[in-house]
Amino acid sequence: MVNLETQYLGLKLRNPIIAGSSGLTNSVENIIELEKNGVGAVVLKSLFEEQIHHAASHAIMQDESANLYPEAEDYIRHYTSQNEVGNYLRLIEETKKSVSIPVIASINCISNTEWTDYGHKIEAAGADALELNVAVLPSDPEKGSSDNEKIYFDIARKMTEELNIPVSMKLSYYFSGLAKTFISLSWTGIKGMVLFNRFYSPDIDIEHEEVKSSFVFSTPAEIALPLRWIAMLSPYVECDLAASTGVHDGSGVIKQLLAGASAVQLASVLYKKGFQEIGSMIETLESWMDRHNYTCIDDFKGKLSVAKNDNPAAYERVQFMKHFSGIE
Ligand SMILES: Cc1cc2nc3c(=O)[nH]c(=O)nc-3n(C[C@H](O)[C@H](O)[C@H](O)COP(=O)(O)O)c2cc1C
């Protein structure tokens, strides 16, 4: 029998498959089903800074007194924010009562001020860890890479200083010095990094000549990007790595573990194929380990990272050449 247990963020997971943050992890009922279907842990839907501000602004617009009395506006803003956060804290508490797998809360933050307060509340509500979903699009022509990177470092340092539960950071690939930045981030006290977040992407409707949202779900080919970076960074970072984006089947899970991930996170595949896909991923992982004579995850984790495989240059190569791609 193979043993699928793994450690992620200092938490013991029965297997390395995590239901990543999405609309599917926003209710206790779904999380109970995810546990029944075999996931090792769950990341709750993120609490968004924008969501709190939007709800507060909406409430203010609805209330005439807010326009007449500035203190009424303050009161409504405060009350609405607390209400949004309160709903999230209830989700954590109810989920913790209902499942035994680790429950990782998630906040989308762009500053390190009010979030430390919410972090404390999330910890008190019983979350096992906190994933910080931080995304700064480097689109401001006035800001250089160090200005943007500072935001990540400030948030990571502040949150890890303040909280006792493990903190991880879910990151994008929009960094000019990605390797140096991520390795330095891993020294701040965070216990893990999730590579990579996948964002809302704009598309253009050519008939109506307008911008629309599109490409909500990933495809299996998108695994290549996190796979490269996990293989290149896993020997050097001082924290765990979780793979996110493009893991759609058991072979995707195995690839990411071989590259050096401690766990994988799923979203699109759960929307597209349903929760029962988790069972077939676990079966694929178990039978592959059996065939390759591995008894536990540590037997092969990172075996194909840049530090350990025979051909590390394969991860560095970026240009297509006939010799390597086989296509003219
Ligand atoms: C509908 C939907 C909602 C999502 N909501 C969140 C969210 O609230 N917070 C977050 O960190 N990631 C969110 N994600 C991103 C996923 O957690 C994941 O990082 C991304 O979809 C890539 O993984 P995948 O290829 O398995 O879909 C969402 C993804 C989808 C498809």
**Comparison of pLDDT for 112 and 246, the residue scoring more:** 246
Residues with CB under 6 A from ligand 1: 20-23, 45-46, 106, 133, 170, 197-198, 216-218, 244-247, 266-269
pLDDT at position 316, please?
A: 79
Answer whether residue 1 is part of any domain: no
Q: Whose CA is nearest to atom 3 of ligand 1?
A: 22
pLDDT at position 308, please?
A: 84
> pLDDT tens digit string along 208-237?
999 988 888 999 999 999 999 999 999 999
Distance 60 CA to ligand 1 centre (A): 30
- DSSP letter at 221? G
CB atoms within 10 A of CB 96: 17
pLDDT at position 317, please?
A: 77
Residue 119 CA, chain-centre distance (Å), reads 17
| Poorest-pLDDT segment among 43-57, 181-195, 263-277 | 43-57
**Identity of residue 150:** K
CA atoms within 13 A on the CB side of 195: 32
Q: Which of 21, 42, 44, 201 to mutate to test the pocket of ligand 1 (most atoms within 8 A of CB)?
A: 21
Q: Which of 22, 195, 249 to mutate to test the pocket of ligand 1 (most atoms within 8 A of CB)?
A: 22
Contact residues for 18 (Cβ-Cβ < 8 A; gap 6+): 8, 39, 40, 41, 42, 43, 104, 242, 263, 264, 265, 266
Average pLDDT over residues 97-119: 87
Q: How many structural domains does the chain have?
A: 1
* CATH number, residue 233: 3.20.20.70
**Residue 59 pLDDT exceeds 60:** no
**Comparison of pLDDT for 63 and 19, the residue scoring more:** 19
Distance 66 CA to ligand 1 centre (A): 36
Closest ligand 1 atom to Cα of 269: 26
For residues 10 and 13, what is the distance between their CA atoms, to the nearest angstrom?
Answer: 9
Closest ligand 1 atom to Cα of 266: 26
pLDDT at position 319, please?
A: 73
For residues 133 and 192, what is the distance between their CA atoms, to the nearest angstrom?
Answer: 12
Distance 306 CA to ligand 1 centre (A): 27
pLDDT at position 196, please?
A: 97
Q: Which candidate, 73, 15, 23, 21, places its Cα nearest to that of 42?
A: 21
| Poorest-pLDDT segment among 102-106, 149-153, 224-228, 313-317 | 313-317
192 DSSP β-pair partners: 168, 240
Average pLDDT over residues 182-191: 98
> pLDDT tens digit string along 8-53?
999 999 999 999 999 999 999 999 999 999 999 999 999 986 666 5
Contact residues for 253 (Cβ-Cβ < 8 A; gap 6+): 16, 17, 247, 264, 281, 284, 285
Q: Rg of the chain's alpha carbons, rounded to an integer?
A: 21
> pLDDT tens digit string along 304-314?
998 887 787 88
**Residue 60 pLDDT exceeds 60:** no
Q: Which candidate, 311, 300, 325, places its Cα nearest to that of 16?
A: 300
Q: Whose CA is nearest to atom 4 of ligand 1?
A: 22
Q: Whose CA is nearest to atom 20 of ligand 1?
A: 198
| Poorest-pLDDT segment among 34-48, 109-123, 217-231, 248-262 | 109-123
Supply 123's token pair: 């910890």
List the end-to-end C-alpha distance of the chain, in Å, as a whole number: 46
C-alpha distances (whole Å) from 110 to each of 62, 121, 193, 198 are 27, 18, 17, 17
Average pLDDT over residues 130-149: 90
Distance 289 CA to ligand 1 centre (A): 28
pLDDT at position 168, please?
A: 98
Answer whether residue 297 is part of any domain: yes
Supply 79's token pair: 């009350």
Answer whether residue 273 is part of any domain: yes
Average pLDDT over residues 83-101: 95
pLDDT at position 65, please?
A: 61
Answer whether residue 250 is part of any domain: yes
pLDDT confidence tier of residue 76, bands split at 50, 70 and 90: low
CA dihedral 133, 139, 141, 144 (to 10 degrees): 40
**Residue 68 pLDDT exceeds 70:** no
For residues 187 and 113, what is the distance between their CA atoms, to the nearest angstrom?
Answer: 21
pTM, 2 dp = 0.90
Q: Which candidate, 22, 47, 169, 170, places its Cα nearest to that of 107?
A: 47
CB atoms within 10 A of CB 263: 28
Distance 183 CA to ligand 1 centre (A): 24
Average pLDDT over residues 147-167: 94
Percent of the chain predicted with pLDDT > 90 = 70
pLDDT at position 312, please?
A: 78
Q: Which candidate, 12, 244, 21, places its Cα nearest to that of 4?
A: 12
Closest ligand 1 atom to Cα of 268: 27
Answer whether residue 60 is part of any domain: yes
For 179, the domain range is: 6-325
Q: Whose CA is nearest to atom 29 of ligand 1?
A: 22
pLDDT confidence tier of residue 206, bands split at 50, 70 and 90: very high
**Residue 70 pLDDT exceeds 70:** no
- Mean pLDDT computed over every residue of the chain: 90
**Comparison of pLDDT for 110 and 29, the residue scoring more:** 29
Distance 23 CA to ligand 1 centre (A): 8
Q: Which of 104, 168, 196, 198 to mutate to test the pocket of ligand 1 (most atoms within 8 A of CB)?
A: 198
For residues 306 and 291, what is the distance between their CA atoms, to the nearest angstrom?
Answer: 24
